[in-house]
Amino acid sequence: MSTMNPEYDYLFKLLLIGDSGVGKSCLLLMFADDTYTESYISTIGADFKIRTIELVGISI
């Protein structure tokens, strides 16, 4: 079995939970894509985003 060389040094998974209509998806979009929209359609099910951050030469 070959070892994989990931594009990051550390991997964190974030789970946002809360009541409907409080802004979880908007918060996720701001963090992952740096975008904001005032008219947002309610998310049904789950939403996934990926973001890589460079911090002091380390990929997170």
When pLDDT is averaged across residues 45-60 and rounded to a whole number, the result is: 87
Report how far residue 7's alpha carbon sits from residue 30's, in angstroms, rounded to the nearest whole number.
22
The pLDDT score that the predictor gives to residue 3 is: 64
Reduced to 3 states (helix: H, G, I; strand: E, B; else coil), residue 31 is: helix
Chain-centroid distance of CA 49 in Å reads: 4
Instruction: Judge if pTM exceeds 0.85.
Output: no
The pLDDT score that the predictor gives to residue 15 is: 92
Higher-confidence position of 28 and 60: 28
Residue 56 gets the label, from left (phi > 0), alpha (psi -120 to 50) or beta, of left
pLDDT > 90 in the chain, percent: 22
The pLDDT score that the predictor gives to residue 17 is: 93
